[in-house]
Structure 1
């Protein structure tokens, strides 16, 4: 789908959000109106979420986020609540719209260090918002720690102060909010860890910025939600047959490590591939045959046997890596699939096999021009992209983007905040899933889901993004006690939800 027509899935970094504000003001809506609308959204959300709260402490910073806080304080006073407002500096030093908002606040303003958090029912954090790019000072950090110790719920304006809106990094110290109210669109810091864990429930408020500003900004960062890839998701046709839905192949390792391939194969079949075959070495044929039913099995003993099999053009997508084993065979198999210009999901051992020669892999990917998805966890990512992994100032989002550009393919950098990045700069941050996905074999299932979608000719970025979302959603449907074998059987329920058939 067009990135200009993505509705609410766009994520705006602080610079892009500033541009959205600028374009809106240039279009005739005054900045002070935007600030009033933002403050009203926060005040309304606070009252809905904490209806019994009567004593509110508002912490106002030195910029526009602080201006929002003055609006919140004024509106809550008008609603009959008791408000104490604490500022990081002299309100007279504020400028522009923030100064105008402060001038309209009817009550006294105290110094920030005068706050006693335990005397409030709710603390409103309007200190810095999403634009902070350096650690907070110690006096402010002390207030954050005191608020946490008092156990008072925090409502954050835009983003909990101390969390980077661009990267989700915690810059020294940060608030942990029960509720975060942001404006127009979420920021990457709302979804990237550890910031995501500090935001609590996130509300996106309409403050008067029109969606068409995205036509100028052209954001390339998205929340990984169905709206992003719904149009690309395959649906079987009423007059189709199994070959229309593609044929996925999963390479098996030896007998004692063959379970990973079976997990990936079952996931590919459940994700909609019309046929799935496990290519296995002679040592693993019998153990695989004892477990496979709807999935086919074929002997594949070496690269020459694979070359012969690749003469069948109906074999459309391959998974290499889960339980396969390290070394030259993995490299030879990957390069053979790429030479045949077939779709490839490279995971686990398939990634590590190229740790000593990553440029060989990247050159083959670029020469093939076929859909390729790499699915590393942090350790595997560091083996293939050691310099990118070592960059201390880059966010996970930027690391995945750099890797995708270098490799010339889609990179899925896995974790609690999985990032899916394409070589053209598009990137999506995932939010489905549970901690129970941190279990052996979970990544093998993900590889299979992506391959099943690739087999059905879903474009690589959309296949990877949809696969990650579906994988996480399946885990959510199961809950505690999840093991990898549970995931493929939950995919029909996920597909039914996506089709609106539940």
Structure 2
């Protein structure tokens, strides 16, 4: 299709026709689960075990063939029971409830074999989380990485003040060697970019574009209108969804959908654009059945397979 038909200025507008013109990678008719890709979800904590369950379930609903979950040892048995389709790896925890940076020793042998890696939903102990990411990134140059929630704090310059026990030489990422995807809402974007939240609300396109260039990352600035900025300046815009999506666990589900699509072989920008669109349309379907308020984040994932099928290219 002609992208210019969906373009306003230098912003590409995402609608059903645009998605059909940018179809997701599909396995062959006789393809096995290996062909559909592996996703690794590093997430969760004692206080937020549900976040990893939501994200991991969403990754499977998006079509990933194999799922590995890496989470704190205190909740690993619970997560394994909640998602019997997964392999669950129990990781050492910090006293603050985070995943210890030493977990990288285990994950370094697993993560590079996955098509995509999602880090962040429900994780606690920011310094430990960032130290873990810094240990993993050098091994993930050929892997599609999604950083969500607390994992995004690895780009904050303020992390130079972190306790010296966590990677004394480097406490943050000023620019990623290989682009990753960050998924902030306006408040998180203000925090990460060290700007006022109102500045983000007033000028989301420029804030997202500047941050994507600075960090060499794809930046999905989430909201009623979501903007995805690429490091090279490209911008996609998606309008849709409803107020019901503003609920606990909704962002975890979105991150999981994106990671699942990336595991299937979609480039990060395509996985994000499609993930945002599927997430919004899932909310619209649930609102039609239940009303605009009160449906749960955990109900979004089950809408995704049918939505993907409905958005396949016209034959």
Partner residue of 1:240 out of 21, 27, 31:
31
Which residue of 1 is the match for residue 6 of structure 2?
Answer: 9
Q: Is the 8 A contact 1:335 1:364 kept in 2?
A: no
Separation in 1 of the partners of 2:23 and 2:159?
34
Separation in 1 of the partners of 2:70 and 2:59?
14
RMSD: 2.4
Deviations 1:374-405 (A, max 9, x none): 00111111111013756489621111111111
CA shift at 1:227, angstroms?
4.3
Provide closer, same or farther for how the CA distance between residues 361 and 497 of structure 1 changes in structure 2, counting only shifts above 3 A.
farther
Which residue of 1 is the match for residue 312 of structure 2?
Answer: 499
Provide closer, same or farther for how the CA distance between residues 491 and 418 of structure 1 changes in structure 2, counting only shifts above 3 A.
same
Which residue of 1 is the match for residue 137 of structure 2?
Answer: 338
- Long gaps (5+) in structure 1: 13-219
Which residue of 1 is the match for residue 125 of structure 2?
Answer: 326
Provide closer, same or farther for how the CA distance between residues 375 and 241 of structure 1 changes in structure 2, counting only shifts above 3 A.
same
Separation in 2 of the partners of 1:273 and 1:317?
10
Separation in 1 of the partners of 2:201 and 2:252?
31
Q: Is the 8 A contact 1:268 1:452 kept in 2?
A: yes
Which residue of 2 is the match for residue 351 of structure 1?
Answer: 152
Separation in 2 of the partners of 1:308 and 1:457?
25
Q: Select the structure with the greater relative contact order (CA < 8 A; seq sep ≥ 6).
A: 2
Separation in 1 of the partners of 2:313 and 2:46?
41
Deviations 1:266-312 (A, max 9, x none): 11111111111110111111221231111221122233333333223
Q: Is the 8 A contact 1:362 1:406 kept in 2?
A: no
**Secondary structure of 1:242's aligned partner:** coil
Report how many residues are paired: 288
Q: Is the 8 A contact 2:155 2:174 kept in 1?
A: no
Which residue of 2 is the match for residue 285 of structure 1?
Answer: 76
Provide closer, same or farther for how the CA distance between residues 315 and 304 of structure 1 changes in structure 2, counting only shifts above 3 A.
farther
CA shift at 1:442, angstroms?
0.3
Separation in 2 of the partners of 1:263 and 1:298?
17
Which residue of 1 is the match for residue 108 of structure 2?
Answer: 310
1:432-451 equivalence runs, <5 A? 432-451=240-259
Stretches of 4+ moved more than 6 A in 1? none
- The TM-score with structure 2 as length reference comes to 0.84
CA shift at 1:437, angstroms?
0.3
Which residue of 2 is the match for residue 382 of structure 1?
Answer: 190
Deviations 1:78-133 (A, max 9, x none): xxxxxxxxxxxxxxxxxxxxxxxxxxxxxxxxxxxxxxxxxxxxxxxxxxxxxxxx
